[in-house]
Amino acid sequence: MQVLKFKFGASGDRVDAFGIRFFGDFDGRVGHGGTFSEILTDPDIPPMTTHQRVTLWFMFEKIRPYDKVSRMLDHLTEGLKKRGYTIKLSSLDGLVDTTSPEYDSKPERRFPASRRMHGCNAATGFSVTAEKTDAKLKFSSKEISSVKEVAVQLGQEIYGRPLKMVSLQS
């Protein structure tokens, strides 16, 4: 099994960036500028997945209100579901409480309380892992383009600008 990775935006902490990881096998024609890595597994242990699996993540330079980030996550999961994926795991990352004294003199202090998460009202990003249970393990070039399209469009909406794909070391 292999992992095909794509990253858009800057590197480091507290930057605007997003990425995609495809877990599975790949059509021989797949390239797309991503970076491949091998997943070495114990032959006596069943594989991590027998279906196409993809993880998408988004992170922000500045924290954003919890409910706004939650809507972004919902938008991403809807796009994946429309393409036949089942959501396996999703999360809001880097939860923050802007009512703490640390934010007393900052604009983030005015972020509204979350209706869903008590004690935290902001986040630094989100991620989702999904798989196609009706598909085989092999990704086609078309499938990769379809998922990249969802991520790039959402990235444009989230960041208000396109983020360039960056080279990754395998």
pLDDT at 167: 77
For tokens 């992170």, the residue is 59
Where does the chain have alpha helices with state H? 66-82, 141-159
CB 21, CB 5: distance < 8 Å: yes
**pLDDT tens-digit map of 25-58:** 887 766 667 887 776 665 665 556 667 899 999 9
Query: What is the rounded CA–CA span in Å between residue 168 and residue 170?
Result: 6
Task: Report how far residue 82's alpha carbon sits from residue 76's, in angstroms, rounded to the nearest whole number.
Answer: 10
Digit-coded pLDDT (tens) for 70-103: 999 999 999 999 999 999 999 999 999 999 999 9
Q: Are 137 and 148 within 8 A, CB to CB?
A: no
Q: In this prediction, what percent of the chain has a pLDDT beyond 90?
A: 59
pLDDT tens-digit map of 95-143: 999 999 999 999 999 998 887 777 899 999 999 999 987 767 788 888 8
Q: Is the pTM of this model over 0.85?
A: yes
